[in-house]
Amino acid sequence: MALARLAVLASGRGSNLQALVSAIADGALPARLVGVFSDRPDAAALQRVPAALRWSAEPRSFADREAFDHALTAAVVRSAPDWVVCAGYMRILGGEFTGRFGGRLLNLHPSLLPKYRGLRTHARALEAGDSEYGASVHLVVPELDAGSVIAQARLPILAGDTPRTLALRLLPLEHRLLVAVLQLAVSGRLTEQDAGLHCDGQPLFTPLRLDSSGRLTP
């Protein structure tokens, strides 16, 4: 069977992208990276892949949001991906993009969705006095961080935690979570049927959970 084609969108340092690159190199993720796309031409993430796989453009150089969205959509379409993954991509995707890739477009978000959509998630969890924090991988829909949640990784919030310590402890879990969800996706175990998310043919009523051995369990 041909390897699943993976496109990744990233705006920053790209450690989650690196987790995918490493999993592919190790043979743990049977996929082929077909492009890395960024709204930040200076993003460190771009340097993690060969130049031939990089695409970036500065949104301000486009007439409006739609024009940038159109260019990004066209670039990703050219890479012919089976799955598109937002891994630290910090720009809201436009309607053309979500319409084109809906159902095979995933985002990694640093919160236990549906809590804390949007930004400042670590600080908001601390301000709310939460005892638990985590990350989610969800399907992308036009509404921000609102698509079906596929899987989550959880960690306890400790006395003295700050947004920075929480982010540091969460990051390795994000890496494992993202790889584990992609393993499901590229092996065809994750499907959308009747507008609902299914895993191994069963409806996914609650998100899968990353266990301490890095596996996803119901």
CB 1 → ligand GRF: shortest distance, Å? 28
State yes or no: residue 134 binds ligand GRF (CB under 6 A).
Answer: no
Name the residue with the smallest CB distance to ligand GRF.
88
State yes or no: residue 88 binds ligand GRF (CB under 6 A).
Answer: yes
Cβ-based nearer residue to ligand GRF, 16 or 98: 16
State yes or no: residue 13 binds ligand GRF (CB under 6 A).
Answer: yes
Q: Interaction with ligand GRF in 22-81: which residues (CB under 6 A)? A: 45
State yes or no: residue 12 binds ligand GRF (CB under 6 A).
Answer: yes
109 tagged catalytic: yes
Stretch that binds ligand GRF, among 6-14, 50-58, 144-152, 194-202 (CB under 6 A): 6-14
CB 144 → ligand GRF: shortest distance, Å? 12
Q: Which residues of 27-56 are buried (b: 16+ CB within 10 A; e: fewer)?
A: eebebebbbbbbbbeebbbbebbeeebbbb
Residue of 95, 97, 128 lying closest to 111 (CA atoms): 128
In the numeric block, which tokens belong to residue 155?
């960690």
Cβ-based nearer residue to ligand GRF, 146 or 171: 171
Stretch that binds ligand GRF, among 11-19, 91-99, 148-156, 205-213 (CB under 6 A): 11-19
Sheet holding 105-109, edge to edge: 54-56, 31-38, 4-9, 83-86, 105-109, 132-139, 149-156, 208-210, 216-217
Judge whether 122 and 166 are in contact, CB under 8 Å: yes
Residues in binding contact with ligand GRF, number by CB under 6 A: 14
Q: Which of 9, 87, 150, 190 binds ligand GRF (CB under 6 A)?
A: 87
Could you count the other beta carbons within 10 Å of the beta carbon of residue 66? 12
State yes or no: residue 15 binds ligand GRF (CB under 6 A).
Answer: yes
In the numeric block, which tokens belong to residue 10?
């990233």
CA dist., res. 58 & res. 46, Å (int): 14
Cβ-based nearer residue to ligand GRF, 46 or 197: 46
Residue type, 216: L
CA dist., res. 23 & res. 193, Å (int): 28
CB 199 → ligand GRF: shortest distance, Å? 22
Counting Cα atoms < 13 Å in the Cβ hemisphere of 150 gives: 29
Q: Which residues are catalytic?
A: 109
Residue ranges binding ligand GRF (CB under 6 A): 10, 12-16, 45, 87-88, 108, 110, 135, 171, 174
